[in-house]
């Protein structure tokens, strides 16, 4: 019997909050790696392959594919400014599009398992999202570089963190999105997962 096997019942009895507060976050992270990977390759990959979502990403890629870093930064700056503003043309247009409506429906149907979902184009710019994100460009973050940038079968699992507002312990799980016709990676999707519901 391994130390892992001996400790698991005791740690599970303490609850995730206690486990993380005891400084055993690495152990807790390891406990959820397998179920989060399985979720990524199964349920998340399935809803990420929705034809309407793929079409929305392909359409945005056709527009943003030639954008340079200055254009990307300008959009991200506009988004961040709109987060606290009365007028939100970029945010409103994104949250109202069909891809965002689809992802909001997926989140709602998860009954709390998914805390956020957002899909990105090949530049790392948001295409659709279930809830408001703090920024528009994810292209410099691990959730994008370690999914989109790592090839079609990649899975990136973020650290388990406690959401300040909801007190939920969650991990962001990211996978690339491919064009089913060509197999080419065209974007990525990130899903916040409430690990207590695994």
Check residue 21 and give its pLDDT.
44
DSSP assignment of 138-191: -TTSHHHHTTGGG-TT--EEPPPEE-TTT--EEEEEEEEEE-TTT--EEEEEEE
Q: What are phi and psi of 60, to 5 degrees?
A: -70, -35
Q: In the structure, what pLDDT confidence band is assigned to residue 29 with cuts at 50, 70 and 90?
A: low
Mean pLDDT in residue range 134-139: 96
For residue 167, name the pLDDT band (cuts at 50, 70, 90): confident
In the chain the domains, ranked by start, together with CATH numbers, are 32-197 (3.30.450.20)
- Predicted pLDDT of residue 12: 43
Distance CA 101, CA 83 (A): 19
Mean pLDDT score of the chain, rounded to an integer? 87
The C-alpha atoms of residue 94 and residue 146 are separated, in whole angstroms, by 24
Query: How many Å apart are CA 58 and CA 110, to the nearest integer?
Result: 26
The answer on pLDDT for 14 being more than 90 is no
Task: Kindly state the percentage of the chain with pLDDT values over 90.
Answer: 78
Phi, psi of 178 (to 5 degrees): -110, 155
Mean pLDDT, residues 106-133 taken together:
97
| Residue 166 pLDDT > 80 | no
| pLDDT greater than 80 at residue 25 | no
**CA 121 to CA 189: how far, in whole Å?**
9
Question: Which pTM value belongs to this model?
Answer: 0.85
3-state secondary structure of 88: coil
Burial 68-77 (b: 16+ CB within 10 A, else e): eeeebeebbe
On the question of pLDDT at 30 being above 70, the answer is yes
Q: Quick one: average pLDDT of 165-172?
A: 86
């Amino acid at each position: 019997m391994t130390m892992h096997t001996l400790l698991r019942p005791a740690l599970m009895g303490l609850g995730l909050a206690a486990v993380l507060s005891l400084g055993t976050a690495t152990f807790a992270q390891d406990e959820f790696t397998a179920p989060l990977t399985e979720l990524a390759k199964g349920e998340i990959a399935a809803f990420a392959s929705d034809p309407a979502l793929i079409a929305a990403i392909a359409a945005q890629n056709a527009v943003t594919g030639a954008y340079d870093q200055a254009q990307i930064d300008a959009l991200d700056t506009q988004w961040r400014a709109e987060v606290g503003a009365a007028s939100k043309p970029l945010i409103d247009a994104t949250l109202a599009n069909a891809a965002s409506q689809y992802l909001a429906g997926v989140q709602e149907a998860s009954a709390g398992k998914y805390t956020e979902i957002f899909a990105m184009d090949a530049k790392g710019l948001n295409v659709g999202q279930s809830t408001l994100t703090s920024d528009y460009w994810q292209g410099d973050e691990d959730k994008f570089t370690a999914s989109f940038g790592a090839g079609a079968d990649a899975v990136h699992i973020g650290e388990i963190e406690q959401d300040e507002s909801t007190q939920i312990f969650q991990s962001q799980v990211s996978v690339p999105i491919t064009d089913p016709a060509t197999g080419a990676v065209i974007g990525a999707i990130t899903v916040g997962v409430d690990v207590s519901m695994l």
